[in-house]
Structure 1
Amino acid sequence: MAVRRERPADHRAVGDVHRAAFPTPVEARLVEELREDAGFLPHLSLVAVDGDDVVGHVLATRGWIEPLGAPALGLGPLGVRPDRQGRGTGTVLVHALLAVAEAAGERLVTLLGSPAYYGRFGFRAASDLGLAPPDPAWGAHFQARRLDGPEQRGTFRYAAPFDRL
């Protein structure tokens, strides 16, 4: 398996991965909308491939911390084909995305997900870092990881397509 930047020719396969990985088509549709949004960062849309087959995908898009508008990233969605789950594909994708983000000078990555899963990548409750989620009901499932730079405090805002979920 290799990880590389998503290419336009991968779009259909990426959609198939997300439709297979999740019980509804929401994530597949979200990825399509994020590609058209100003917050899309092509270097942070990565695929895991086995030969010519796309078996996983992860994406991070531009978000910001209010009230000052400090840039940050929102990770998600992360999808892995069901027949490849439990084999480390998601782990490799998250590590690769964090490495690319850090190399690109990003300072902060946030996400909504399982604390047990994402904690092993250094994510922790965003509230511990002075960050509030867009929806207070997310609680400890809204997580963050600092990569570099000064502390940022405030409320995280995702790219616009997340607001339409």
Structure 2
Amino acid sequence: MNHDEIEFHIRAEQPNDAESVYRIHYEAFGEREEESKMAERVRASKGYIPELSLIATDRNGSVIGHALFSQAEVVDEDIRHEVIVLAPIAVKPGYQNQGIGGALIREGLRLADKRGNSHVFLIGHPAYYPKFGFEPARPYGFELKQFEVPNEVFMVKILSPNAGIKGELRYPQAFLD
């Protein structure tokens, strides 16, 4: 893949990528460990989907980006629907703003759709994610009670419009610890 003169490749995370993934999130989020530790907790949880933990590598094979799509659920009274959440996502400083994060998002959405997932949710910047088809989730009948966030940052990308689900998005415990 070639975006803005940088060559990179996207693949599924492998077990030996864990340390590189930790470092990417640590560096990209201003040397704080919160996102790095979240990625580790999700990787160790039942909601982890190995083929949806995506890595971007440069032409030398060095890890320069990571996007973690994992399992969550939407609960509507006693009905539970499996959905996907995107978090965290990071690109190594020095490689940002070159299309790598966007390519990771597009590939994750493609793979989630291929798996038959109907919805992908995230909490994210309202000026960035709409270009990938994400929209505010509450107007579609979704609620989020675990985190207090403004309507415009709680977003959904509907992959299967006929899925007809609504209810409360519940992130797994790995996101809350």
TM-score by length of 1: 0.96
Flag the structure with larger Rg.
2
- Which residue of structure 2 aligns with residue 64 of structure 1? 73
Kindly report which structure 2 residues correspond to 1:153-164, keeping only aligned pairs within 5 A, or say none.
153-164=166-177
- Which residue of structure 2 aligns with residue 73 of structure 1? 84
Shift of 1:130: 1.0
Shift of 1:57: 0.1
- Which residue of structure 1 aligns with residue 10 of structure 2? 3
Contact 1:64 1:158 in 2 (8 A): yes
1 or 2, which has the higher helix percentage? 1
Q: Which is further off, 53-62 or 132-141?
A: 132-141
Number of residues paired by the alignment? 164
Identity rate, percent: 31
Shift of 1:145: 0.8
Amino acid at match of 2:26: R
- Measure, in 1, the Cα distance between the counterparts of 2:163 and 2:97: 35
What secondary structure does 1:43 align onto?
Answer: helix
Q: After the TM superposition, which segments of 4 or more aligned residues of structure 1 sit over 2 Å from their partners?
A: 134-139
What secondary structure does 1:4 align onto?
Answer: strand
- Measure, in 1, the Cα distance between the counterparts of 2:165 and 2:72: 13
- Measure, in 2, the Cα distance between the counterparts of 1:97 and 1:77: 12
TM-score by length of 2: 0.89
Contact 1:131 1:153 in 2 (8 A): yes
Task: Specify which of 142, 145, 152 is matched with residue 140 of structure 1.
Answer: 152
Amino acid at match of 1:65: V
What secondary structure does 1:84 align onto?
Answer: coil
Amino acid at match of 1:31: A
- Measure, in 1, the Cα distance between the counterparts of 2:141 and 2:95: 36
Task: Specify which of 101, 110, 127 is matched with residue 121 of structure 2.
Answer: 110
Over aligned residues, Cα RMSD in angstroms?
1.0
Contact 1:61 1:159 in 2 (8 A): no
Q: Is 1:44 the counterpart of 2:55 in the alignment?
A: no
- Measure, in 2, the Cα distance between the counterparts of 1:76 and 1:94: 11
What secondary structure does 2:117 align onto?
Answer: coil
- Measure, in 1, the Cα distance between the counterparts of 2:140 and 2:51: 26
Q: Runs of 5+ in structure 2 lacking a partner?
A: 1-7
Contact 1:107 1:147 in 2 (8 A): yes
